[in-house]
Chains A and B, each alone.
Chain A
């Protein structure tokens, strides 16, 4: 067992554990936040796993999750607008922690990979992941004024 897999185990255990607790209990708003954070934390875990198994092809999984995870959260934001509209959930602390974990993991992996096409792919994944999750979180907390629902 190398350090990468150990780091991935820690990230996945903490990430999946907390988000499972968040998504299974409490009010609806907290559950949507937890669903958003689950993709934000599992994606760095998948990147660490791909480095730990030294299989660059596994990066595709993280790419897909970084692309589709925020899309899934936006689906819930759109179709649960009625229920979430009354008291939009605010969770900036956990959101920034997740974004920080993603940034640190992508930066470390970029430093290990060195310049090249693999590094460009990692940077694209990082940008999609952090950007998407911050945007989904903001849409969730009702941070955009003057929005009506259809």
Chain B
């Protein structure tokens, strides 16, 4: 295909997409208006199941199957990264020289690391009550561990991060989500249906039926996945050298 035809193809596709988007925008409800057909129904369903955060109810109860798909996407993406960024036959590992970090930065990292870890767990645990949830908290907790790299060096991070444990944790939490879904089937209702547990008291930590459990599974999955992903990137950027060794 010559560049001229390609350009025409892009113009044609882009023009068609733009026309469709404009047509769709013209039929949208007005910005900030009072009419929310989906929102009203979602809020009613969330309140019926004693879940204070409607977004958590949509993610882990009303649309729990969609969340399983998103979890699978992340799992597959990390799996692909692990395969692509593995140590190839013509590469060797060259442990980087120890790095000296300024004392204030080291102290800051050591103080903030536990605070960020606890914040991540707090965001996961309060997913059904306030903004946040498994994904957000998991990313924060995983980022917190990497303060060890910023505050010291890669060897220090590797000591607190046995990568096999995180790979196993990733797989275990992904299957925990599936097991919770099948538990619904075994209990006589549908896959991922929120009928297993009592709904609890509204606005308490243990409310919402299976929502907190699915939330915790996603939190662990995301935290482990991000740690494994960053480990591959750090390996490539810091340790793995080309050439098959001296």
Contacts and interface: CB of A to CB of B under 8 A. Distances in A.
Interface of A: 57-58, 60-61, 63-64, 67-68, 70-71, 74-75, 78, 128, 131-132, 135, 138-139, 144, 146-150
Contact of B147 (A61, A71, A135): A71
- Interface residues of chain A: helix, strand, loop or mixed (majority): helix
B100 A74 contact: no
Given A64-B119, A78-B149, A150-B154, 13 more contacts: A70-B112, A71-B112, A78-B150, A132-B108, A135-B105, A138-B104, A139-B105, A144-B102, A144-B103, A144-B104, A147-B101, A150-B98, A150-B153
A149 B131 contact: no
A132 B150 contact: no
27 contacts: A57-B130, A58-B131, A60-B123, A60-B132, A61-B131, A64-B123, A64-B136, A67-B112, A68-B140, A70-B112, A71-B150, A74-B105, A78-B150, A128-B112, A131-B108, A132-B108, A138-B104, A144-B103, A146-B102, A147-B101, A148-B99, A149-B99, A150-B97, A150-B98, A150-B99, A150-B153, A150-B154
A78 B109 CA distance: 13
B131 A57 contact: yes
A75 B150 contact: yes
B59 interface: no
Contacts of B87: none
A147 B151 CA distance: 12
Contacts of B108: 70, 131-132, 135
A68 B147 CA distance: 10
Contacts of A61: 131
Contact of A150 (B109, B115, B238): B238
A78 B153 CA distance: 10
A68 B136 CA distance: 12
A132 B116 CA distance: 13
- Interface residues of chain B: helix, strand, loop or mixed (majority): helix
B240 to A, nearest CB: 15
A68 B140 CA distance: 8
Which of A67, A75, A128 is packed against the most chain B CB atoms within 10 Å?
Answer: A67
B96 interface: yes
Contacts of A146: 100, 102
Contacts of B130: 57, 60
A38 B177 CA distance: 38
A13 to B, nearest CB: 20
Contacts of B101: 147
B215 to A, nearest CB: 15
B100 A67 contact: no
A132 B143 CA distance: 16
A63 B132 CA distance: 12
A146 to B, nearest CB: 7
Interface string B81-111: 0000000000000001111111111001100
Contact of B119 (A58, A67, A74, A150): A67
Contacts of A63: 119
A117 B154 CA distance: 37
Contacts of A75: 150
Contact of A147 (B98, B102, B132, B150): B102
Contacts of B102: 139, 144, 146-147
A68 B117 CA distance: 11
A30 B101 CA distance: 22
Contacts of A149: 99
B100 A148 contact: yes
